[in-house]
Chains A and B, each alone.
Chain A
Amino acid sequence: MTTLIPNPAESQQRNGSVVPSRREHLLAEVEGAAQIIGTALPLTAFVGLNPLAGLEDMAWPAATALAARTLGIRTTTDEMVLRAAAASGRISRGDLDATIAARLPRAADELKIGDRVTTWGEVVIDDLLSGPLDPAPVRRRRTLAEATAPALAAQIDRRTARWCAAYTDEGQAAWTLPGRERGLYGAWLALGRHEPGIPKTLRAALRTAPADPVDAILGALDHLGVPDAEVGTYLQTHLCVQPGWASHLRWREQAGGSGVLDLLALRLVQEAALLPAGGWLPSLGLPLASDGSITARDRAAHLLTRWGIGTTRSAELEAVARALAAPEVRRDVLWQEAYERGYQRVLLAEIGDGGEVRGPSAPAAQVVCCIDTRSEGLRRNLEAIGDYETFGFAGFFGVAMAYQPAGAAEAFAQCPVPVPTAFTVTEEPRERAVGALQALVTRRRGLRAAAHAAHASGAGAFPLAEATGVVAAPVAAARTFAPGLVGALRRRRPAPPATQVSLEAVPLEQRIDVAEGILRGIGIVRDFAPLIVFCGHESHTTNNPYASALDCGACGGHGGAPNARAAAALINDPAVREGLASRGIHVPDGTRAIAAIHETTADHLHLLDVDTDADPAIASLAADLNRAGEALTRERSASLPGAGSRRGAAPEVRTDDWAQVFPEWGLAGNAALIVGPRARTYGVDLGRRTFLHSYDAALDPGGAVLEQILTAPLVVAHGLNSQYYASAVDPLRMGSGTKAVHNVVGGVGVTAAAGGDLLLGLPWQSIADGDRLVHEPMRLLVLVEAPRAEVDRILAAHDNVRALVDGEWLQLLVRETPEEPWQRSLRGDWLPVTHAA
């Protein structure tokens, strides 16, 4: 487990009644314990991250084993799904053989069982395909309260969840937690004793508990008699009881609020007050036998019975068991790898060697889309319609800004989560619209304030419900029976005041830097088309707590339009163009940058900030984008649940349908990131499953662009992929289960009832249809066409990326030229990849 070294200056400052070394030690233990817990972003900006990110410095097999027993979660695809995949040919026999050969050093060793000659590998595969299923993982360690007084443990959980919900509320309750600024633990310490029916010992403890959470935890650990060596493990056990709130507090700590330290203080003070002193039990782990684990001998016996040999001959039983007990045999890991190999085999065959030159020679426009998997569908359909050259680039288009929409009260980060914002950009009304915008903003503010005041007005709430009810009934009926009509009415509302997004306030030199970064990053530095389109994407859904999970992950879980507009404005800026020219990028005067937005729910495409009719080239671009969107909708409709069978299920209607739990599939199915020229994938239907990042090694002699790609977009794609993966492999604990019972808490998350733990990850309806998984959970496959030496240099320079590659959190395949076979990077070596069907 990792332990971070605490900042000495800080610990000097916060030095309380406890000796500094013990305090520092505890802080390190807390930080270490929290590594098992992911970071759950609020639903307002819900971007996918790896829930096991804290374990990324371990190898994936070890990290998943740790998570499985510590959190009690499933970490690989359900074996029934995999066996079905093997039966259908999705996992071929070759995939299984290759996996075993790669994983099991003694795979080819022969075994004689009766009159049958087989190999270790065969035995393992037979067991995978027909052996008993492994039991679901269980959380191995219990808290003292769980082990000795389950009712008290439940009470602690309920109370903790209640205070976490009150503390993290972002504006649901009208009556807010008094003294919230004291932090989670501080607020509870100040108020908790007022709880009706609170146990007397807890009330007394609240009066005497130290104000500092560290002291409080130390005191509680002493009271319970937790030995020093067990402290880290025990703290981790507590965090794993309600990982939802713990994960959300991990985010809140980064945002300047209370973190898991407060959570632990809240839990441990309760436990110490409710349990007798010195009640420590030497081991709180469940006995291994109780989880129903299946031993290698059991498996061997099962196989022998299946082969009709019987289990009487103990020598043969031992021999088979020895093969199955080899340390490399992690059944779940082998299965998962075979599953991924099956996809990889097909994908590599589809891409092929890209021998012939593909794509238009003199494009009418160069269209830059987000790397998002949904862009693959748009690009493919657009390219099929006309002479368009398309590119993939992280959807924030290199503009790492804090963005404040026109009339909004706050700015928010409009760039990938790990990227710091470089400057703030405010959306400004165009000159003639200043007044209209001001009026709109004032009206909006007034209406919301009035609505809240009326709801919280005590006596007024009763007639208000009546008055609203009279109007609500027909509205509810219309939204339910005619969502399409509601959408049509919404679209006929007057357009909002015209605005612009400009970076003029940013110093010129910085603007030129950003513009240069964009063009070099995409790989458009010569052969400019007359039009360069920056096409961001956003999702329009209604009544959907997970709306932001469908927006642009590279834009911090928001729509991508502001970044597209900013990028276009930047490239059109004459001063910037002058600066670019001095740096060797000559954007022709005849080239114009345009922003566009792809509404992914209905596949509507709009050009932004341009008069479409003014220029025939732009008009034809707009028409082609529309046609591409229509083609994409037709393509997607086939896979949407309920499409075609009933009215109200067309993608366009889903935008406004408040009953729709499958508005779109988002990034479901995502499986690979391809970094290379579009020519290699041009014309190939990748099924909206790949992130596509444009890259041309010839334009990047120093490898700076590649370095940027492998350290940012790769990490973003890995995060999104991991979120879908985790939600699909354990839909109830790493995903948030069915939407049917979701209850939004504080605007930050959902629970499954009136209280309890925050639910992590994506809902079942984002990854599955009925009982069928739509998202195939696979670790990200990264294909890069670049010099291996450059890749090696970048991996050496960036520990976090190297940890992902060497730890097998993702798989990196590289080829230098299209003709050469793909080679896999594994702990510093390059191994050629071959696939037999």
Chain B
Amino acid sequence: MTSSLLIAAVGLPAGAALAALPARRSTTLASVVTWATGLAFACAVVLAVLVASGTTAVATVAFGDAAQGLRADRLTVVLLLLVLGVSWIVQRFSVRSLAGDAKARRFSLIAGLLTTFAAATPAAATLLGLAVAWTATSIALCALIGLYRGYDAAEEGIRRTGVALLVGDAALWIAVLVLTAEYGQLSIASLAQSPPDLSTPLAVAVGALVLIAACARSVQVPFHHWLPATLASPTPVSALLHAGVVNAGAVLLLLLSPLLTQAPVVMWGAVAIGAVTAIVGTALMLARPDIKGQLAQSTVAQMGFMVLTCGLGLWAAAVFHLAAHGAYKATRFLGSGGAVAAITADRQSGATSHGVPLGTTLLAALIAAAPLAAIAIALDLPAGSLLLLAFGAVALTQAGRSWMASVPGASGILAFGVGSLLVGPAYTLVVEEFAHFIEPAIPAAQGALPTPLVLIPLALLLAALPIITTRRSSALADRAYVWALTAGDGSRPPRSRRGRPAPTLVIEAEGSQS
């Protein structure tokens, strides 16, 4: 039963897309794929219940020296729910938003395929299967980004995405082939239970290759330029991409973590790259004047945070982040047409965040931190979770000080207090419940670096950003702004050498202007 559910959950979207391909009307194809994805989601829900009660779903056939196919544990079902749920919503959205569009048919077909490939990635039973699903996802993604090939920007998008993913996929395949040559077919399950003991050079090499693959897919610096270049594709494509494709880097790191942790330097690398990406993405996001560019750069930052938590071995936090952020970002993309109304509402509300007294800030910090601290003590949370909660406290504090500056007096404080009391603990409980649920399916937290050593400086650096971005003008702030503005739109920096004009033929004069 579980195996058929698993096969249905992964295979239905692509299966339906191929089966309905002969349908003449694009709306028929869209409906069929949408319903199939919905059915796949339903299967994933049932599967999740079954898996939660203790079984692991396996659907494999013997192939060579390994059992190829699919398997699902608690981690897999979470990712299946995310990918299938978002894909279902996005496809249903597209039935209306791409109505009448010449590319609607192509979108439905490729979106169905992409959904299956993205779902198969975390559900693959073997390393080889994972790599196949991974590359199939890359190819489907390039096809989706190229939907509107007429536009120059779309061409640029395919090219940049193609190059980045090619590098990443090549790295992954080299790693997989090396491991397979050395140890035969590796199943994901055996990797977790009894990973092969790698020699140090091999561990570093394999780890570095896997990290490159994860970074290329999850838009880490220096691969962060391809994501904004994809914005020439239709809105639903962006929603799918940001929710179900870019975050696969964390899945790869997690599934291969038994190998990666054998080379601490790789984990340090993940931490460093993630931290840099988080800061760069945040800065670029703040300077974007376009809504989708802002969302894309925000994803870059969020993916940096995700890879960082992976590097720290905070696997539960990383998975929660990738899932919740995926849902968040897909929603923001689908709703990005509301940007005009939002800006009008902002202006008309007269909201401003300038000139908040220090006392208000301190009070906000106190009100934000107290409930979080209380529940952390009550649940006896480890240091890693505690620090991540501190990030939450920063968000609440910032929101609270602006709120209290706008709503002065006791009523403002009271409202924020109630809000903080509800939001902080609720968030903590959700995160902890999730961590508890996912625990059996993920490696124990084993970072190569002490968490506080990384997170505290990162928080401070990020906190320093608004100091730069809101300063009126200074040499440093000006420089930083122009860098962020220029780097954020995904266009290549110009060649620094002076352009040499090509020799030009003298063109004959234009005819009389009538």
Q: Interface with B: A101-109, A460-468, A499-507, which one?
A: A460-468
Given A281-B504, A442-B406, A543-B335, CB of A197 within 8 Å of CB of B496 = yes
Across the two chains, which residue of chain B brings its CB closest to A442?
A: B407
Binary contact readout A253-278 vs B (1 if CB under 8 angstroms, 0 otherwise): 00000000000000000000011100
Q: Out of B98, B481, B496, which one reaches A199, CB within 8 Å?
A: B496
A155 within 8 A of partner (CB) = yes
A583 within 8 A of partner (CB) = no
CB interface residues, A 481-510, toward B, < 8 Å: 481
CB interface residues, B 279-331, toward A, < 8 Å: 282-283, 286-294, 296, 298, 301-302, 305, 320-321, 323-331
Cβ A449 vs Cβ B353 within 8 A: yes
Given A172-B289, A443-B407, A446-B412, CB of A454 within 8 Å of CB of B339 = no
CB interface residues, A 734-764, toward B, < 8 Å: 738-747, 751-756
Q: Out of A286, A461, A548, which one reaches B298, CB within 8 Å?
A: A461
Chain B proximity of A240: nearest CB distance (Å): 15
Question: What separation, in Å, do the CA atoms of A456 and B396 have in the docked complex?
Answer: 12
Cβ B472 vs Cβ A466 within 8 A: no
Cβ B328 vs Cβ A454 within 8 A: no
Cβ A746 vs Cβ B290 within 8 A: yes
A659 within 8 A of partner (CB) = yes
Question: What separation, in Å, do the CA atoms of A557 and B489 have in the docked complex?
Answer: 31
Binary contact readout B204-240 vs A (1 if CB under 8 angstroms, 0 otherwise): 0000000000000000000000001101111110000
A435 within 8 A of partner (CB) = no
Q: Interface with A: B119-127, B148-156, B445-453, which one?
A: B148-156
Q: Out of B153, B495, B499, which one reaches A752, CB within 8 Å?
A: B153
Interface size class of B (residues with CB under 8 A): 35 or more
Residues of B within 8 A of A752 (CB): 151, 153, 232
Question: What separation, in Å, do the CA atoms of A170 and B344 have in the docked complex?
Answer: 9
A589 within 8 A of partner (CB) = no
A384 within 8 A of partner (CB) = no
B462 within 8 A of partner (CB) = yes
Cβ A451 vs Cβ B399 within 8 A: yes
Residues of B within 8 A of A476 (CB): 89, 327, 330-331, 334-335
Question: What separation, in Å, do the CA atoms of A267 and B469 have in the docked complex?
Answer: 27
Cβ B473 vs Cβ A179 within 8 A: yes
Cβ A545 vs Cβ B337 within 8 A: yes
Interface size class of A (residues with CB under 8 A): 35 or more
Cβ B101 vs Cβ A162 within 8 A: no
| Chain B interface (Cβ < 8 Å from any Cβ of A) | 27, 85-86, 89, 92-103, 148, 151-154, 156-157, 228-229, 231-236, 278, 282-283, 286-294, 296, 298, 301-302, 305, 320-321, 323-332, 334-353, 388-389, 391-392, 394-407, 412, 423, 427, 430-431, 458-459, 462-466, 469-470, 472-473, 477-479, 481-487, 489-491, 493-502, 504, 506-511, 513-514
Question: What separation, in Å, do the CA atoms of A405 and B148 have in the docked complex?
Answer: 42
Across the two chains, which residue of chain A brings its CB closest to B471?
A: A178
A542 within 8 A of partner (CB) = yes
CB interface residues, A 557-613, toward B, < 8 Å: none
29 A-B Cβ contacts within 8 A? Answer: A166-B485, A172-B291, A175-B484, A194-B478, A198-B494, A199-B495, A282-B509, A286-B507, A448-B345, A448-B351, A449-B351, A450-B403, A461-B301, A463-B395, A469-B325, A470-B324, A470-B327, A473-B86, A473-B327, A477-B85, A545-B337, A738-B234, A747-B343, A754-B153, A754-B232, A755-B153, A755-B491, A756-B153, A765-B100
Question: What separation, in Å, do the CA atoms of A545 and B338 have in the docked complex?
Answer: 6
Binary contact readout A627-670 vs B (1 if CB under 8 angstroms, 0 otherwise): 00000000000000110011011000000011111100000000
CB interface residues, A 271-294, toward B, < 8 Å: 274-276, 279, 281-288
Q: Interface with B: A28-36, A114-122, A146-154, A241-249, which one?
A: A146-154
Q: Out of B92, B391, B501, B506, which one reaches A463, CB within 8 Å?
A: B391
Question: What separation, in Å, do the CA atoms of A646 and B31 have in the docked complex?
Answer: 11
Residues of B within 8 A of A66 (CB): 513
Residues of B within 8 A of A744 (CB): 290-292, 336-337, 339-340
Given A162-B486, A410-B348, A754-B153, CB of A140 within 8 Å of CB of B334 = no
Q: Out of B278, B343, B401, B513, which one reaches A44, CB within 8 Å?
A: B343
Question: What separation, in Å, do the CA atoms of A413 and B496 have in the docked complex?
Answer: 47
Given A470-B430, A476-B327, A477-B89, CB of A462 within 8 Å of CB of B321 = yes
Residues of B within 8 A of A833 (CB): none
Across the two chains, which residue of chain A brings its CB closest to B281?
A: A461
Question: What separation, in Å, do the CA atoms of A629 and B213 have in the docked complex?
Answer: 58
Question: What separation, in Å, do the CA atoms of A642 and B293 have in the docked complex?
Answer: 31
Question: What separation, in Å, do the CA atoms of A401 and B314 have in the docked complex?
Answer: 59
Given A173-B288, A283-B507, CB of A155 within 8 Å of CB of B392 = no
Chain A proximity of B211: nearest CB distance (Å): 21
| Chain A interface (Cβ < 8 Å from any Cβ of B) | 43-44, 65-66, 69, 140-141, 147-149, 151-152, 155, 158, 162, 165-166, 168-175, 177-179, 190-192, 194-201, 274-276, 279, 281-288, 327, 405, 408-410, 441-454, 456-470, 472-473, 475-477, 479-481, 542-545, 547-548, 641-642, 645-646, 648-649, 657-662, 738-747, 751-756, 765, 768-771
Chain B proximity of A448: nearest CB distance (Å): 4
Cβ B481 vs Cβ A177 within 8 A: yes
Cβ B291 vs Cβ A463 within 8 A: no
Residues of B within 8 A of A473 (CB): 85-86, 327, 331
Cβ A543 vs Cβ B100 within 8 A: no
Cβ B157 vs Cβ A199 within 8 A: no
Q: Out of B156, B350, B472, which one reaches A445, CB within 8 Å?
A: B350
Residues of A within 8 A of B491 (CB): 158, 162, 754-755
Question: What separation, in Å, do the CA atoms of A196 and B27 have in the docked complex?
Answer: 47
Cβ A195 vs Cβ B486 within 8 A: yes
Question: What separation, in Å, do the CA atoms of A282 and B85 have in the docked complex?
Answer: 61
Question: What separation, in Å, do the CA atoms of A540 and B102 have in the docked complex?
Answer: 27
Chain B proximity of A287: nearest CB distance (Å): 5
Question: What separation, in Å, do the CA atoms of A279 and B329 have in the docked complex?
Answer: 49
Given A179-B473, A747-B343, CB of A463 within 8 Å of CB of B388 = yes
Chain B proximity of A651: nearest CB distance (Å): 14
Q: Out of B95, B403, B501, which one reaches A446, CB within 8 Å?
A: B403
Beyond A544-B338, A740-B234, 9 extra complex contacts between A and B, CB < 8 Å: A174-B469, A449-B403, A456-B286, A466-B320, A473-B86, A476-B327, A747-B344, A753-B157, A770-B100
Cβ A285 vs Cβ B510 within 8 A: yes
Across the two chains, which residue of chain A brings its CB closest to B102?
A: A771
Cβ A444 vs Cβ B349 within 8 A: yes
Question: What separation, in Å, do the CA atoms of A693 and B345 have in the docked complex?
Answer: 33
Cβ A547 vs Cβ B340 within 8 A: yes
Cβ B286 vs Cβ A743 within 8 A: no
Question: What separation, in Å, do the CA atoms of A633 and B420 have in the docked complex?
Answer: 46
Residues of B within 8 A of A452 (CB): 346, 351, 353, 402
Cβ A472 vs Cβ B328 within 8 A: yes
Cβ A454 vs Cβ B398 within 8 A: yes
Residues of A within 8 A of B337 (CB): 543-545, 658, 739, 742, 744
Cβ B509 vs Cβ A462 within 8 A: no
Cβ A275 vs Cβ B501 within 8 A: yes
Cβ A285 vs Cβ B507 within 8 A: yes
Chain A proximity of B343: nearest CB distance (Å): 3
Cβ B338 vs Cβ A542 within 8 A: yes
Question: What separation, in Å, do the CA atoms of A769 and B101 have in the docked complex?
Answer: 8
Chain A proximity of B58: nearest CB distance (Å): 28
Question: What separation, in Å, do the CA atoms of A61 and B478 have in the docked complex?
Answer: 49
Given A194-B483, A658-B334, A660-B96, CB of A745 within 8 Å of CB of B290 = yes
Chain A proximity of B81: nearest CB distance (Å): 10
Cβ A197 vs Cβ B153 within 8 A: no
Q: Out of B96, B151, B320, which one reaches A661, CB within 8 Å?
A: B96
Question: What separation, in Å, do the CA atoms of A741 and B150 have in the docked complex?
Answer: 12
Residues of A within 8 A of B469 (CB): 174-175, 456
Chain A proximity of B83: nearest CB distance (Å): 12
Cβ A459 vs Cβ B462 within 8 A: yes
Question: What separation, in Å, do the CA atoms of A287 and B491 have in the docked complex?
Answer: 32
Cβ A459 vs Cβ B391 within 8 A: yes
Across the two chains, which residue of chain B brings its CB closest to A645?
A: B27
